[in-house]
Amino acid sequence: MDDGLLDRRMLLTATLGLAAGMTFPAAARTASERIDALLARMTIEEKAGQLSCFNDDVRPVDAVFNPVVNPRSAAAMLAEVRAGRVGMLFNGYGVAGARKAQEAALASRLGIPLVFAADVIHGCRTTFPIPLAEAAAFDPDLSERACRAIAREASAAGLHWTFAPVVDIARDQRWGRVAEGAGEDLLLNRLLAAARVRGFQGDDLRANDALLATAKHFAGYSAVTGGMEYGAVDMSEATLRELFLPPFAAAFKAGAGATIASFTTLNGIPVTANHWLLTRVLREEMGFTGVCVSDYDADRELVAHGVAENEADAAKLAITAGIDMSMQSGLYNRHLPALVAAGRVPMSMIDRSVRRVLALKEALGLFDNPFRSLDVRVERRAVKREATQKLARDVATRAIVLLRNDGDLLPLPRRDTRIALIGPFAADRANTGGPWTFAGRTQDAISIEAGIRALLADPDALTVEPGCAIEAAIPGGIERAVALARASDVVLLAIGESAAMSGEANSRVSITVPAPQQALAEALAATGKPIVVLLRHGRALALEGAIRDASALLATWFLGEQTGTAIADILFGVCEPTGRLPVSFPFSTGQQPWSYDRPATGRPAPASQPMEGGRSHWRDAPDRALYAFGSGLSYTRFTLSNVKAPAEVLHDQPLVIQAEVTNTGTRPGTAFVRTDLHIRIGEASPIRRMAGFTHVHVEPKKSVIANVLIPSDRIHYTISAPRGDHSRDLKLTVMLNGLDKYSADITVSNH
């Protein structure tokens, strides 16, 4: 590594605090006498059991998330628990079954309690919007409140631990798990990682309603080649440290007590066997002291990767790299005792991981109260609370992004308008939740049709026709839809992705709307009726033809059980649209991966001649996004004026930007004011990144002063590394609703 890159790495590491001992406080304490005493009594088989976690076959949920590996009956699993061969059960639901499993654990020789975990990604019984949709609110406080409500409900159903939040920065929309994170921006990912951890865990991990958080997937998981799930990741160390580690650092600083290792390879080495990443970086540099879990069967998959000779070798590689708990494969139970006996794995290494697992259980209060969060009375009153459902509706409404509104077609009147609701998602409830709806029920979901009818003065003014299925034509469907459109004043077109088209193992080669739906849109456009597209999706999509050119376009994501009410609230102006895109919508799939903060090229194409020869461009698409990160409209219009930024700021002081926002329209609205920074001259191509943002509510014909506060640490990590003689020259850009409005130069001074 050259000296310049090494200096850059050291600067960024120091700036982010990666070596500052960010710890899971309870697990970081000196092990208690109870843990010392337990370790002294444990056999190697019991130690391996504490390091083994399995699917909860005692209280299974009616969903399949992974390939079937190592299946057990409920009776067989309870027998394993009584034998002390299980440390954690995951993806089960309900207090009654959890109590039965915990009783079995307490009947084991040492009586070490189980910890119950699950992939509670965006709700439990109450399904909230997917995390990507929630990110569109650009509101860490809202994210924290949502996760706090989710934790209360999940813990009431017998859970102690969630495998969330996903903090993988997602810049390739072909990758299915874009849906589970906060999008493409570094700052938004850092802020929401911390907010979600605080929300899940609350103020006291021993509290009955606390849910241990897991920052995942460590690290670089989302940068798979071609967007292919579980594929290879190849990136520079500088990119790993600058872009992919900081959200984990934020989550750990907020107290996240666990992480899950990435399924993928990183620069040729499977992460599950990557000692440099899981021990040197995660433990020694970042100071993480919590529990590191393999992903589902990932340790056994080291054989398929070609780095392990057999399962025993795979178990050795995983525990040596830093994997504390083996998920589902059973490899630790089967092979660690023999590996220790043969001297291939030292007992001290096993004890280190067992201490971490036992410290986690102690931090959750399970030794003192093994039946914590296992009260059927609490379960009855805390699940599906009215306040939780109300919050889910608020998050869903805040998540919707208005991308196009020609001629102010929206909001629609609630009377005297004939509305045709067309598309495969018009009356659909099964696909409202999106991927990873852990315990939600379809019958609880409110369809778009139901939400709209509830707000119309005359519910019969709405007529509904699917037109086509999600990925197939329906005989006569387009003809019926066209006839319905011609008899109506406006068409609402509910199209997009099914829940099965996003999420884990759902990568897409082409991120367009399926062909049958595109054909339906083209036929409806030919009627000349105004069309409002209600787009359902778990990623940014490449929109084409009649969908791209519709009169109005709303990004509605997977909004959870309150889908219909939230969409209706926006359509009819009960609520103003305030969402902004956390991911950029490309012109074409071929532009992936894409992000707004790409490094500059030496031959940029001028805006006036984007296809000029010899310049950086595609021959068949502009070198820009269709809708860039941060885009989003309101039902009113704003102007930005009187921007005030200091010409100089001290390096350890915050930067404060002031701007006057005026609502020039006739409706109240919320403006999104964002500030980007980049260094003018750097050792690498300067990157312009968001450094701060705020929302301001403004009444019609009124003005409000917006203040954007940028802490000093953000000034450093958003600007890339400076070259020595230009270390204090920054470029600042202030944007209103995603559009550049103001630029200025700022000097960062050391004195």
> Does 571 lie in the same domain as 648?
no
Q: Is 57 a catalytic residue?
A: no
Average pLDDT over residues 390-412: 98
Last residue of a domain, one of 591, 626, 654: 591
Q: What is the CATH number of the domain that holds 667?
A: 2.60.40.10
- The span from the CA of 591 to the CA of 348, in Å, is 49
> Who wins on pLDDT, 349 or 607?
349
Task: Note the pLDDT of residue 32.
Answer: 84
Parallel/antiparallel/unpaired status of strands 689-698 and 669-679: antiparallel
Q: Say how far residue 411 (Cα) sits from the centre of its chain.
A: 30
Total number of residues shown for the chain: 751
Check if the beta carbon of residue 299 is closer than 8 Å to that of residue 329.
yes
Does the pLDDT at position 632 exceed 60?
yes
Please indicate, yes or no, if residue 76 is contained in any of the structural domains: no
470 in the same domain as 555? yes
Phi and psi at residue 490, to the nearest 5°: -150, 150
Strands of the sheet with 531-536, listed across from one edge: 401-405, 552-555, 531-536, 490-496, 419-422, 462-465
Pairing state of beta strands 490-496 and 419-422? parallel
Question: Phi/psi zone of residue 478: left (φ > 0), alpha (ψ -120 to 50 degrees), beta?
Answer: alpha
Q: Kindly state whether residues 649 and 576 are assigned to the same domain.
A: no
Residue 478, domain member (yes or no): yes
Asked if residue 81 belongs to a domain, the reply is no
pLDDT tens for residues 58-83? 998 876 677 888 888 999 999 999 99
Boundary-marking domain end, from 560, 591, 622:
591
Are 421 and 557 in a shared domain? yes
pLDDT higher than threshold 70 for residue 495: yes
Domain termination site, one of 552, 571, 591: 591
Asked if 694 and 555 sit in the same domain, the reply is no
Q: DSSP letters along 300-337, please?
A: TTHHHHTS-SSHHHHHHHHHHHT--BEESS-HHHHHHH
584 shares a domain with 503: yes
**With bands split at pLDDT 50, 70 and 90, how would you rate the model's confidence at 4?**
very low
Same domain, 569 and 646: no
Chain-wide mean pLDDT for the chain? Answer: 92
Helix/strand/coil (H, E, C) string of 481-545? HHHHHHCCCEEEEEEECCHHHCCCCCCCCCCCCCHHHHHHHHHHHCCCCCEEEEEECCCCCCCCH
Whether 586 and 646 share a structural domain: no
For the segment 516-538, the average pLDDT, to the nearest whole number, is 98
Give me the domain span that covers residue 416: 381-591
Residue 151 in domain: no
Mean pLDDT of 343-357: 98
- Does one domain contain both 466 and 569? yes
Q: What is the pLDDT of residue 738?
A: 86
Residue where the block lists tokens 């001992």 = 21
Average confidence (pLDDT) over 160-184? 97
In the chain, the number of structural domains is: 2
Quickly state the pLDDT bin for 12 (edges 50, 70, 90): very low
Same domain, 540 and 653: no
pLDDT for 717 equals: 66
Q: What is the CATH number of the domain that holds 462?
A: 3.40.50.1700
720: pLDDT confidence band, cut at 50, 70 and 90?
low
Return the H-helix or E-strand segment holding 453.
Answer: helix 448-455
Range scoring the smallest mean pLDDT among 16-25, 561-570, 635-644: 16-25
Q: Is residue 71 one of the residues assigned to a domain?
A: no
State the amino acid at position 546 in one-letter form: A
Q: What percent of the chain has pLDDT over 70?
A: 94
12 Cβ contact partners less than 8 Å away, ≥ 6 residues apart: 238, 241, 242, 717, 721
Does a structural domain hold residue 571?
yes
Q: How confident is the model at residue 315 (pLDDT cuts 50, 70, 90)?
A: very high
> Which pLDDT belongs to residue 24?
45
pLDDT digits (tens, 9 = 90+) for 249-261: 999 999 999 999 9
User: Is the domain of 645 the same as that of 530?
Assistant: no
Is residue 115 assigned to a domain? Answer: no
Residue 603: pLDDT band (50, 70, 90) is confident
Label residue 6 by pLDDT band (50, 70, 90).
Answer: very low
Q: Which residue matches tokens 């359509």?
A: 571
162 forms beta bridges with 118
Please list the alpha-helical segments (H only) found in 572-618.
Answer: none
How many CB atoms are located within 10 Å of the residue 305 CB? 19
Instruction: Answer whether residue 21 is part of any domain.
Output: no
**Res. 14: pLDDT tops 60:** no
Q: Is 650 in the same domain as 577?
A: no
Q: Give CA–CA dist 338/317, Å, rounded.
A: 14
In the set 56, 139, 295, 313, the catalytic residue is: 295
Amino acid at 313: D
Q: What is the pLDDT of residues 528-553, one digit of tens each?
A: 999 999 999 999 999 999 999 999 99
| Amino acid identity for residue 390 in this structure | K
For residue 721, name the pLDDT band (cuts at 50, 70, 90). Answer: low
Angstrom distance (rounded) from CA 222 to CA 229: 8
